[in-house]
Amino acid sequence: MRTFKTLTLVAIAILGFTSCSDDDDSMPLLVVESEQVINLHAPQTTDFTTNPPTTAGDFVKFDFSTGTITTSETDWDIAFRGTTILVNGGATSGIAEEPTRTGNAGAYIENSTFANVTAVTETSFTQDSTTGFAIPSGSGNGWYTYAGPPTHLINPTAGKVLVFRTADNKYAKVEILNYYKDNDSSNPDNSRYFTFNYVYQPNDGVTTFE
């Protein structure tokens, strides 16, 4: 009788495990999202009477999960102002009007083509801090190159893919295409308008973009 009960319990356990496994296998993954953002305006003001010049203005926050800009204090992943890009992770750097970091976002730059970045390197992520940004600022340091006079153009540097861990530990990659409204750099007022491609991985624990 004891043997029968033991075998019955084992059979139930196996059936339960199989049932759970079948349930897990039947849950489909969310579709990886591939989108383009056009003319995201990230204005700033610059005071050239100080040395070095100081910048000010609200950062424009972007949320990969919704694919839109947001005014939320917490539900954002990256933020733009002028050529500066922040992540919602780490510490404030001390510049004016920057948002408080409340998430675990991080970033790094991959020297590759957008299509060839198919997975993240988890050990490469860094966060914003008092000593610098996860996406470095300055010409030739991060995503752009400053052309200098006479044009003073800001040009995205080829082969620089921005890889992000989002505030809630998902992943995204970004390719910045242009810094001028409607791709028209002839008018200085058209600057600080970002156009970029991005791919967002919405599934927990998945580190690939395919």
pTM for the model? 0.85
Distance CA 16, CA 185 (A): 64
CA dihedral for 168, 170, 171, 172, sign (positive or negative): negative
Least confident of 48-52, 115-119, 124-128: 48-52
Whether the pLDDT of residue 140 is over 90: the answer is yes
Instruction: Name the burial class of residue 116, with classes exposed (0-12), middle (13-18) and buried (19+) by CB atoms within 10 angstroms of its CB.
Output: exposed
Q: What local confidence, expressed as pLDDT, does residue 24 receive?
A: 53
Q: Give tens-digit pLDDT for 15-62.
A: 444 444 445 556 799 999 999 999 999 998 877 677 777 787 899 999
CA distance 59 to 100: 11
User: What local confidence, expressed as pLDDT, does residue 76 receive?
Assistant: 98
pLDDT at 55: 80
Q: Nearest 5 degrees, angle CA 166-CA 45-CA 108?
A: 25
